[in-house]
Structure 1
Amino acid sequence: MAMSDSNSSKGLGGQGGPAAPKDPVERREGFFVMFETAIEATARPDSKPSQEVYLEGNYLIDKARYIGGVTDEEMLKMLTTWEGFRKLVHSIGVSVKTAREDAAVIFLMQNWGRTSKYETGTQYRVACPGDGTELLLTLEDIGWSGDDMAPGKFAFEFDEEGQLATASIVLYLHDGYHAPELTAEPPVDFSAPAYRKMIAGSLLHRGNNRRLKTAIDKAARGEDVTIAYIGGSITQGAGAKPIHTECYAYQSYLRFQELYGKDGGENIHFIKAGVGGTPSELGMIRYERDVLKDGAAAPDIVIVEFAVNDEGDETKGNCYESLCLNILSAPNRPAVVLLFSVFVNDWNLQERLSPVGRRYNLPMVSVKDAVTEQFRLSKAEGNIISKRQFFYDIYHPTNDGHQVMADCLAYLFSEAGQWPMGEEEEDTLAGPPVIGNDFVGVRLLDRNSDLSQAGTPVTIEAGGFAETDEDVQMVEMDDNPSGTPQFPHNWQHTASSGGESFKLKLTSRNLILVFKDSGSAEVGKAEVLVDGQPVLTADPHVNNWTHCNAVILYQEQQSREHVVEIWMVEGDQDKSFTILGFGYTV
């Protein structure tokens, strides 16, 4: 409420307010791009701990569409450029409610620049009240750079890692533009019969429960049982706040512990190995390291979640089936559960990947089957959880969404324990695969590998790639809230490394290169040759953020010797490039 001059007589019951408040300014039409969203301060290598919200590409459009309810295609298109954004948006309303009263929060709006994407655009920072009061940023009152090209990201910066808050951002419009009114939704009733019915709809395929039932009986006897999860960013916990305890993986582990644990459940153990932005093509390479802990762990149950990540799998399911076979072939005969998550546009790769589950008669759980039909309903028609309640952004669930996913898995756990023990397995792993099994037995090769134990002749000459890159993708593994470096035993070329190539000689059928993507202008491209022939120009800027990129260099039926060379491309010799590792089969 606008206040009058400071010399006004006291009013409001002597509380120091004005006797005659000014008339309220009429609120502009607007739409939310974040609405009462949980945020968490995550450690950043070169800045304050923060929660980042990226806006480029379709990110902001999808937030406007799915959170704000905007359907006007012209308005949505305007959000993709700074010129259009300024024409559409009059002001930005930001409200933050911190979990701790003394927590300091800085709101950042950063535009991408024309000259240098991450460096020449405006970075506007302003302190936010932590009590939920809306801070109004009028765009015409802020000095913007002439180099601003497009909205890049919002961020909430904190003083300490792990701090929690709830935030909303609304874009208020210039006169002449209109947005639908946002109405508050009732909280999700997780105990309602309709909710339980929705969850039951997630059971896509019962499969043979023998392995799962064996793990359940083992747990109930008080023996140690380990449940493991491997997947992409949803399994990592993206969207959950705090990420390590509110993610679907940890929450479903707790449900299993409650259902079948002995004496408080201390005999139930947890492994989480989700890595954001990566498909099963990378997951199968890191399975031994991240799930089996290089032989130190032998999980009894493994949840596999790549249904929204495997669009980037070059083999279109061969890697996924190979991963499942690698898990199923373990001597302790673990249960494998296939989990199919979903994006905000109701998309996943269930149709491609579910035949793998049917081929090996595996239990399958589909979050997509549970929630998408009711998304289309109004509350009056029977909607149980809306997209705005389920999705943190266009890819990842909110805490409520993660709870739905955990409840879907818990439903399988509960039902499988009540079903009769499944039949003794015939040799279901023998015979032809449904998609492919070319990568069964894939092994990780990195700087820490014992080449004498590689199972194949291997020689490596690091050449100009002799450094070690410490700025790698960080991931919250297991129940750890802090990031664990991915592929820390790597080979890096730097600006001062010289022009020598990296040389790898090995005998294998298949070889996958894992290299680091980056948004830094100091990182360059590398040329990859196999047996003297160019096969790939590895460009870290295709994805343009720090993460692990797996690409196939060759895929053959017979194992034979190959020589792989990696050079910096012409003109990029003074830049860096990081070989994170390789995956190979003999």
Structure 2
Amino acid sequence: MNKNIDCVNAISSSLYNVGNSLRLRRALGKKNVNLAFAGGSVTKGWDGKQYLEKNYTDHVAEFFRSEYPDKTFSVTNLSTESANSFIGLSITDKVITEADPDIVFIEYAVNNECGHDHIVSYESLVERILALPSEPAVVLIFLINKSLYTCQGYMKMIGSHYDLLSVSVADSIKQLLDEGFDWSVYSDDVIHPNTWGHRFIADCVTKALKEAADKTEDTEYVLPEALYSLDYADYHTFSTDDAMIRKKGFEEISCPEYGEYFNNGVRYTGTNDASVRFEGEFKTLFAAYVHDKTDRFSDADVMIDGEKKAVLQGRSIYGWGNVVLKNVFSFETRGRHSVELKVKDRKKDFILIEFGVS
């Protein structure tokens, strides 16, 4: 690493938008403050080899406790490996009410894609959290990988539209790289920050938090109309053990290896004519299932009202035995539909985690 590189300047330049600070100042005016972090493996604390003893979420919590020693800060980590904003919607639907957050940090810029569905899911997630009864402050964090991939373009626009504190670690890292910075100082692989990298992310976030907390002229926050679309803001999960889900040739399983938010599902048992069925009212259908780059998993057809609408790819070059949540099919309007899932290869495995509807 070039010793002449100015990390202090890079940290300062990470503040993309200070936003409206009213909700943040209200949150910090409470005696007990609930912090929530939503993101992927980085926010979970994975460095590519192991979970770090302290990741950036821990450093941010320590900053709050140091700055406001008379207050109590509790932390809920709503993150899981490979999560994007689709999975964020599922986790939010399950636990956000219980978490009752006062400040929510959202990080999905390296796991999201840049297509329409991911844009809609991201904005829907942001709006859903902003619309919570607790009226939490929302802080957006934008990361980047070694190949300079990031979805921060549309995320910045959403952050500006909703007037949110937005922190671009991606911009800071790109600035450092332009100055001769070695990526290996920040990360030991192509995406996951190491100990130094997590400290750097936290320094960017806490610098922005200080500036936002000092901004006192904001006296009102009004939730705006959608920028792109809020089609998924009412996302609702149907677990596979829900009474409305009818299963034939599938066994219920516990799968804690997929994280605390996806630790139950159903596994195909190889039975002829096996299927999973339900009827429900929705505009868009989602499915969460396990995929892998090997051929251990079969594909599965999804039938809606008797017509094949999609294929869930059990084998995917992007899979590593992890949970993926996909938009299966969207109708123009909301209506009642029948859904059936059928496994294609009887000699292979298939694990369905849940359905989702909006």
Q: TM-score, normalised by structure 2?
A: 0.92
1:582 aligns with 2:355: yes
Alpha-carbon distance in structure 1 between the residues aligned to 2:256 and 2:18: 39
Q: 1:201 to 1:210 in 2, by over 3 A?
A: same
Q: 1:261 to 1:512 in 2, by over 3 A?
A: farther
Give the CA deviation at 1:364: 0.3
Partner of 2:58: 250
**Out of 269, 276, 280, which is 1:506 matched to?**
280
Q: 1:522 to 1:196 in 2, by over 3 A?
A: closer
Partner of 2:230: 437
1:270 aligns with 2:78: no
1:234 aligns with 2:30: no
After superposition, residues 372-521 of structure 1 pair within 5 angstroms as 372-378=174-180, 385-426=181-222, 428-429=223-224, 431=225, 433-449=226-242, 459-465=244-250, 467-471=251-255, 473-475=257-259, 484=260, 486-495=261-270, 497-519=271-293, 521=295
Partner of 1:559: 334
Q: 1:242 to 1:551 in 2, by over 3 A?
A: closer
Alpha-carbon distance in structure 1 between the residues aligned to 2:256 and 2:119: 27
1:309 aligns with 2:106: no
Partner of 1:362: 164
1:199 aligns with 2:11: yes
Q: 1:346 to 1:553 in 2, by over 3 A?
A: closer
Alpha-carbon distance in structure 2 between the residues aligned to 1:244 and 1:398: 8
Whether contact under 8 Å (2:255, 2:265) holds in the other structure is: no
State the one-letter code of the partner of 1:359: H
Output the aligned Cα RMSD.
2.2
Percent identity of paired positions between Structure 1 and Structure 2: 24
Partner of 1:210: 22
Partner of 1:535: 309
> Helix, strand or coil for the counterpart of 1:575?
coil
Alpha-carbon distance in structure 2 between the residues aligned to 1:546 and 1:529: 24
After superposition, residues 308-347 of structure 1 pair within 5 angstroms as 308-311=110-113, 315-347=117-149
Give the CA deviation at 1:523: 2.6
Q: Which runs of 5+ in 1 are unaligned?
A: 1-184, 379-384, 452-458, 476-483
1 or 2 for the larger relative contact order (CA 8 Å, sep ≥6)? Answer: 2
Whether contact under 8 Å (1:460, 1:504) holds in the other structure is: yes
Question: Structure 1, residues 384-416: CA drift from partner, whole Å, max 9, x if none?
Answer: x53110122111111111111011111122222
Alpha-carbon distance in structure 2 between the residues aligned to 1:300 and 1:245: 25
Q: 1:521 to 1:347 in 2, by over 3 A?
A: closer
Partner of 1:526: 300
Question: Structure 1, residues 5-29: CA drift from partner, whole Å, max 9, x if none?
Answer: xxxxxxxxxxxxxxxxxxxxxxxxx
Alpha-carbon distance in structure 1 between the residues aligned to 2:287 and 2:131: 25
Give the CA deviation at 1:313: 6.0
Alpha-carbon distance in structure 2 between the residues aligned to 1:207 and 1:447: 40
Q: 1:490 to 1:314 in 2, by over 3 A?
A: farther
After superposition, residues 42-191 of structure 1 pair within 5 angstroms as 185=1
Alpha-carbon distance in structure 2 between the residues aligned to 1:288 and 1:244: 27
Q: 1:307 to 1:326 in 2, by over 3 A?
A: same
Whether contact under 8 Å (2:255, 2:262) holds in the other structure is: no
Alpha-carbon distance in structure 2 between the residues aligned to 1:233 and 1:502: 30
> Helix, strand or coil for the counterpart of 2:319?
coil
Q: TM-score, normalised by structure 1?
A: 0.58
Range 388-397 or range 317-326, more displaced: 388-397
Alpha-carbon distance in structure 1 between the residues aligned to 2:107 and 2:285: 24
> Helix, strand or coil for the counterpart of 1:566?
strand
Structure whose residues are more often helix by fraction? 2
State the one-letter code of the partner of 1:255: F
State the one-letter code of the partner of 1:353: M
Partner of 1:299: 101
Q: 1:541 to 1:325 in 2, by over 3 A?
A: same
Q: 1:517 to 1:390 in 2, by over 3 A?
A: same
State the one-letter code of the partner of 1:213: R
Q: 1:289 to 1:373 in 2, by over 3 A?
A: same
State the one-letter code of the partner of 1:404: F
Give the CA deviation at 1:312: 7.1
State the one-letter code of the partner of 2:349: S
Q: What is the total number of aligned residue pairs between the two structures?
A: 357
Range 513-522 or range 360-369, more displaced: 513-522
Give the CA deviation at 1:489: 2.8
Q: 1:390 to 1:522 in 2, by over 3 A?
A: closer
Give the CA deviation at 1:198: 1.8
Alpha-carbon distance in structure 2 between the residues aligned to 1:312 and 1:195: 29
Query: Greater Rg, structure 1 or structure 2?
Result: 1
Partner of 1:15: none
- Runs of 4 or more, structure 1, over 6 Å off, are none
Alpha-carbon distance in structure 1 between the residues aligned to 2:332 and 2:210: 43
> Helix, strand or coil for the counterpart of 1:462?
strand
Give the CA deviation at 1:522: 4.0
> Helix, strand or coil for the counterpart of 2:78?
strand
> Helix, strand or coil for the counterpart of 2:330?
strand
Alpha-carbon distance in structure 2 between the residues aligned to 1:247 and 1:553: 34
Question: Structure 1, residues 438-473: CA drift from partner, whole Å, max 9, x if none?
Answer: 011211110344x6xxxxxxx3211122x1233464
Give the CA deviation at 1:347: 2.6
